[in-house]
Structure 1
Amino acid sequence: MTWIEALILLGVGLFTGVINTLAGGGSLITLPLFIFMGLPSSEANATNRIGVFLQSLVAVGGFKSKGVSVFPYAFYVSITAVIGCIIGAYFAIDIKGPLFNKILAVVMVIVIILTVLKPYLAHKGTLEIFTPRRKLLTIVLFFFVGLYGGFIQAGVGFLIIATLTGVHGFNMAKTNSIKSFVIVCYTLVALGIFWWEDQIRWDYGLTLAAGNSAGGWIASRWSVGKDDKWIRIILIVTVVGLAIKLWFFG
């Protein structure tokens, strides 16, 4: 990695750290960035998980310090998510680069549509419905969440939010607490698989993660009460442009 690449990763990491704090979807930028910097798709996909893991780990600690947790429920859904993740991660390793890039381009557009429409916010999450049948349903659904997360990761937070608020009506604090814990669990397993298969570029991943951490720290201190409208507009324009480049020139 050259010093110019390091500066780019730190800058983009700072930017996406802010985006992840205010709006979410930073992986839709960082994953294509690794590909455009010359990393094979499988390595880019694996390396991107370092920042995701560290960010989520910090978030878990933050929620715990505020007394926000949903145990043992979070542990149960994490088990099936991890099982799904193992399958998804090995599928991601085996898939060919050009096909992966086209799949990523389609996923990016779909996630941006979800970001604009915000269907997961239709349920206000003011009344928790926590029956055995609904718990079983989410345990099953989180297998597919883990399957997707192990495969590509980008935008998985939106799927988790939609599942938890749609099925149980959790408020956003509990939803994000569970989301962070689940992502930590299955991302740790995914990193282990990618490390075993020698797919991770630690220098790229840790440099980006440093920028992510700085961006998250900055945004967390001035984001309260701020409108994320412009962040979302920037995210949409950037991701659509990257998706077009991936599809036609990736």
Structure 2
Amino acid sequence: MDPLVEIWQLALLAVAGVAAGFLNVMAGGGSLLTVPIMLFMGVPGPVANGTNRIAILAQNITAATTFFRRGYSEFRLSLSLAACAIPGAVVGALLGTELEGVWFSRTVAVIMLGVMVIMAFDNGKQEHVSSPPTRKQLWWGHVLMVGVGFYGGFIQLGVGFIIMPVLHRVMGFDLVRTNMHKVFIVASYTAVALVVFASRVEMLWLLGAVLALGNSIGGWIATRAQISKGQGLIRKVLNVVLVIFIIKLIFFP
């Protein structure tokens, strides 16, 4: 990639970052906007995969801080879940630095097919849960979080569609608290994955900084919106995003 990035490219990334940050915090899949744009700009797969983590980290720190300031925090549980995700993220990031070319695109396609299957079985009946998770739910949630961390460290794209069923369906959190834990966990393992990528591939820090600004703004908007609007808004956005990705995957691969 030419080191002289044009202004329109930075502007495009900033706008895409706002949309991606909103989607990532609200539901998931925002990286399916930003990573393809970087690929279109000529950024190699592993570099785009790593540079995207800069924005993901900034976005989730912003969202977690906003949740905390609005009175939503369960740091002890968030920390224990994040601690389980981090080892998986390290292994996943090491593999992710080697994924490039056609295999990067094929992996994204397979991942989205898996997302479609997962979401098809989420019938949405569990809307309001006030009781804390049982010991069995906590155990399964922590075990599955290792896999979530591996996936997030490996490629990150659509990780919201993976972590949300674990927190919402397995652990029984309502959707607002699901996202509260999600942003903390993703921020934690992304910090580690970012170090791995930075040590093994070329990082485009300028592009990452522009994306980070956009993602942070989008994440801040999404956090405030879901706290005030509740689960109904989250589920609507989730369903719309899923439909768009399904159409893209089937008709515009």
TM-score (norm 2): 0.83
Partner of 1:119, secondary structure, is: coil
Change (3 A) 1:75 1:159: same
- Partners of 1:221 and 1:185 in 2: CA distance: 21
**C-alpha RMSD over aligned residues:** 2.9
Shift of 1:139: 1.2
Is 1:57 the counterpart of 2:58? The answer is: no
- Partners of 1:134 and 1:230 in 2: CA distance: 26
Matches within 5 A, 1:162-241: 162-217=165-220, 225=229, 233=240, 236-237=243-244, 240-241=247-248
What amino acid does structure 2 have at the position aligned with 1:187?
A: T
CA contact (8 A) 1:112 1:236 kept: no
What amino acid does structure 2 have at the position aligned with 1:151?
A: F
- Partners of 2:84 and 2:138 in 1: CA distance: 12
- Partners of 1:19 and 1:217 in 2: CA distance: 11
Shift of 1:70: 2.2
Is 1:7 the counterpart of 2:11? The answer is: yes
Hey, what does 2:30 align to over in structure 1?
26
CA contact (8 A) 1:89 1:193 kept: yes
Partner of 1:44, secondary structure, is: helix
TM-score (norm 1): 0.84
Hey, what does 2:160 align to over in structure 1?
157
- Partners of 1:132 and 1:230 in 2: CA distance: 31
Give the paired residue count: 245
Matches within 5 A, 1:3-152: 3-20=7-24, 22-111=26-115, 117=120, 119=122, 121-128=124-131, 130-152=133-155
What amino acid does structure 1 have at the position aligned with 2:74?
A: V
CA contact (8 A) 2:66 2:220 kept: no
- Partners of 2:187 and 2:7 in 1: CA distance: 30
Deviations 1:38-75 (A, max 9, x none): 11100111111111111110111112122322242221
CA contact (8 A) 1:104 1:243 kept: no
Quote the sequence identity (%).
34
Deviations 1:89-117 (A, max 9, x none): 001112342111111122234435656x4
Moved more, 13-22 or 141-150: 13-22
Gaps of 5+ in 2: none
